[in-house]
Amino acid sequence: MLLCTNSMEDYARQLLLSELNKQGPVSVPALADTLGYHPSMVDRHCDSLQSEGYVRHATSSVYEITPDGQTYLQELTTKGSEASQKESNGSIER
Every domain of the chain and the residues it spans: 14-89
**pLDDT tens-digit series, residues 23-81:** 999 999 999 999 999 999 999 999 999 999 999 999 888 999 999 999 999 888 887 66
**Residue 32 Cα to chain centre, angstroms:** 12
| Sign of the four-CA dihedral 66, 51, 13, 77 | positive
Return the SS3 of 60: coil
Q: Would you say residue 5 has pLDDT above 50?
A: no
* Fold for the domain defined by 14-89: Arc Repressor Mutant, subunit A (1.10.10)
- Residue 64's DSSP bridge partners are 56
Q: Is residue 86's pLDDT more than 80?
A: no
